[in-house]
Structure 1
Amino acid sequence: MAQFLGQGGMGSVYLAHSPGGRPVAVKVIRPELAKEPRFRRRFAREVSAARAVNGAYTAPVVNADTDCELPWLATVFVPGPSLWQTVRANGPLSHAQTRRLGAGLAEALLDIHAAGIVHRDLKPHNVLMDAAGPRVIDFGIAHVTDLPPLTDPGALLGTPHFMSPEQITGSAPTTASDVFSFGLVLSFAAGERSPFGDGSNAQLLYRIVHTPPDVRSLPDGLRVLVTACLAKRPGQRPTPAELLDALGRRPTGTDRADTDRPDPARPDTGRAGTDRHAPTLWLPQPQHSTVALARNAHALLADGLTDALLLEAAGHDR
């Protein structure tokens, strides 16, 4: 039997199994959305984007059908909770845990961007805390750089708490937009609060565009890095490769006991052990107030998903 995992704006997600017994997460689109040609095209693009990503820190696609009556997408099932659930249940991550989380997310962004994709909705809800490291999921509003947009001009896509200034002002998304969201995700993981404060969505959107972030509550080893990620100008933000290089190092003064604590996200970047702080050359310049998916997807399941499995996951009988 398929197990219901959750529901969102696009449809429901179920835990099911391939004929060979492999656990998969199956997203089944809502019937009313499946009737809309424009939405079907958007969902087909999500599937295409997700298939294109090769990465240890994303959730690989195993099969999909975008043309059937109820379109669906199956990915490798990641048993861990989301970063949002982890922090809400257990409080902020330690300094060492946050750095390891960041290293995994930076590598995920490298793989996503290498596929010509801007995620555009990197947030704690879309980061699953697998024992082997974080997994970035959900390419529902991803932008494929060599294809025209499907959204209407001026449409606001993303989650306000984790959006970049250029997303808010309607500029074309770039990989730097994901870096801004990365900084907000790291800030949430380390301190459970937004550097742009509390309030309504409108207030948050205004502050993200016009006011500097408040990162005083972050540990010293993360403050400079997060501040750089949150630069208003996209060109002043570090690249995912620079982030990975910095976060793969153990900062001076890291508590040994803290490093050895049980960790919900332990990506191995192969760079740990160098006693250096994150470079400070990323410090943003003064800002103006105006703002102009294991590797190779572990291969597709040879046996695929049967019609019976799809119907079961969707809650229907033959």
Structure 2
Amino acid sequence: MSRPRDLRRRHASALGPGDPDDIGGRPLLGRLGEGGQGVVYLAEDHDGEPCAVKLLKGGMAAGRRARDRFVKEADAARRVAGRHTAQVLDADVTGDRPYIVSEYVDGPSLQETVAGDGPLPERRLHRVALGTAAALAAIHREGIVHRDFKPGNVLLGPDGPKVIDFGIARMADATPLTTGPLGTPAYMAPEQIEDEPVGPPADVFAWGAAMVFAATGRPPFGTGPNAAVMRRVTSRPPDLGDLDGPLRELAARCLDKNPQARPSARQLVRALREGAGPAPRPRPTRIPRYRWRMMVALAVVMTAGFVIGVL
């Protein structure tokens, strides 16, 4: 089997002493990330191709709520099909080590990219905005709410952006598994913070906040202690920085405190396709060959007439 030797090129770090050697018969090659619910590894599938494997922390000892969320994550990710979401390839949520195997996206997160290189240039920003809006539209079409859309959950792969991590996703009409707000404060909608019913508009709010971050390098409600950030989200207008053009207007509408006033993800896609992007580069004007011949002939006639006049 071929093994990727340079883990940095795969956006992974080395395995730790407590990490397993394989999961579900797939050799582990490195760590891709870790969250409150699980650890994500870079692995090799049975054909020697890279894949991502998320292992539930605690395994069988994990609490019932954690296991229920993991099962719902696998189900939600399986149901969503689209070019801008990472596809689930396999899963075992009932064994001693519950895991989910998904498509490996060979690229950094939006969070890492902006933190390392600064705000996205206009054209790349538009591509990311359109791709992630399309991903949310596909998610919402299945009746699922992501609930943790943020720059860290957007991977910038060679085929464009892909949305990952359905760890706290649920059906739009489902009863929450836990009480209290779940998510990342800087990208949480007011209704999430205030523990009110959460639907697709919450993902749209998060999208608007993430696009402000991608364009300016900072989230629209600042950083700092979670309580301070959440207070700004619920009571202050967003700081859109130097974001300009049609995307500024879209982001402002998405960050409305009233969920009913926000556009849907599908409307975002339509707006971005119909003119919220940068103007196309002007193409050099090409003169047809027959016109070149006419111009050359005319120049010859004019030159000849000038010469005769002089003589």
TM range (shorter): 0.7 to 0.9
Q: After superposition, where does 1:259-298 map in structure 2 within 5 Å?
A: none
- In 2 relative to 1, CA 176–35 (structure 1 residues): closer, same or farther, beyond 3 Å? closer
Question: Tell me, what secondary structure is at the counterpart of 2:156?
Answer: strand
Aligned to 2:75: 48
| In structure 2, C-alpha distance between the alignment counterparts of 1:251 and 1:163, rounded to whole Å | 24
What does residue 127 of structure 2 align with?
100
Amino acid at match of 1:203: A
1:229 aligns with 2:229: no
Task: Identify unmatched segments of 5+ residues in structure 2.
Answer: 1-26, 283-311
1:185 aligns with 2:210: yes
Q: Does residue 147 of structure 1 match 2:208?
A: no
Q: Which position in structure 1 is the counterpart of 2:194?
A: 169
Structure 1 residue 36 corresponds to structure 2 residue 63: yes
Query: Would the aligned equivalents of 2:123 and 2:277 in 1 still touch at CA under 8 Å?
Result: no
Q: Residues of 2 paired with 1:47 and 1:55: CA distance?
A: 16
Which range is displaced more, 38-47 or 226-235?
A: 38-47
Which amino acid in the other structure matches residue 28 of structure 1?
L
Residue-by-residue CA offset, 1:168-215 (whole Å, 9 max, x unaligned): 111111100000000000000000112223432212111111111122
User: Are the counterparts in 2 of residues 34 and 40 from structure 1 also a CA contact under 8 Å?
Assistant: no
- Determine the C-alpha separation between the residues in 1 that align with 2:146 and 2:38: 19
**Cα distance in structure 1, aligned partners of 2:234 and 2:128:** 26
- What secondary structure is seen at the aligned counterpart in 1 of 2:40? strand
Distance in 1 separating the partners of 2:148 and 2:60:
20
**1: CA distance between counterparts of 2:46 and 2:153?**
27
Please, which of 10, 15, 18 is the counterpart of residue 45 of structure 2? 18
Inter-partner Cα distance in structure 2 for 1:79 and 1:65: 24
CA distance in 2, matches of 1:128, 1:33: 30
Aligned to 2:288: none
Q: 2:270 aligns with which of 239, 245, 264?
A: 245
**For the residues of structure 2 that align with 1:252 and 1:30, how far apart are their CA atoms?**
42
Counterpart amino acid of 1:150? L
CA RMSD in angstroms comes to 1.8
Aligned length: 255
Give 1:74's aligned residue. Answer: 101
Task: Please tell me whether residue 204 in structure 1 is matched to residue 259 in structure 2.
Answer: no
Do the aligned residues in 1 keep the contact of 2:59 with 2:98 (CA within 8 Å)? no
251 and 50 in structure 1: CA distance in 2 versus 1, 3 angstrom threshold? closer
Distance 1:30 1:253, change over 3 A: closer
1:128 corresponding residue in structure 2: 155
Q: Does 1:117 align with 2:144?
A: yes
Residue of structure 2 in register with 1:2 after alignment: 28
Q: Which amino acid aligns with 1:17?
A: E
For 2:184, the equivalent position in structure 1 comes to 159
Work out the CA distance in 2 between the residues paired with 1:113 and 1:252: 23
Q: Counterpart in 2 of 1:294?
A: none
Q: Which runs of 5+ in 1 are unaligned?
A: 258-318
CA contact (8 A) 2:59 2:97 kept: no
- SS of the residue corresponding to residue 70 of structure 1 reads coil
Look up the SS of the partner of 2:68 in the other structure. helix
Q: TM-score, normalised by structure 2?
A: 0.78
Task: State the SS of the aligned residue for 1:73.
Answer: strand
Return the offset for 1:48: 0.8
Deviating 4+ runs (over 3 angstroms): 32-35, 249-257
**Identity value in percent:** 44
Alpha carbons 1:78, 1:128 under 8 Å: kept:
yes
Q: Distance in 2 between matches of 1:33 and 1:229?
A: 40
> 1:12, 1:209 → 2: CA distance?
32
Q: Distance in 2 between matches of 1:188 and 1:207?
A: 16
Which deviations, in whole Å up to 9, do the C-alpha atoms of 1:141-160 show, x marking residues without a partner? 002124322112xx110000
Distance 1:214 1:208 in 2: 11
Distance 1:233 1:71, change over 3 A: same
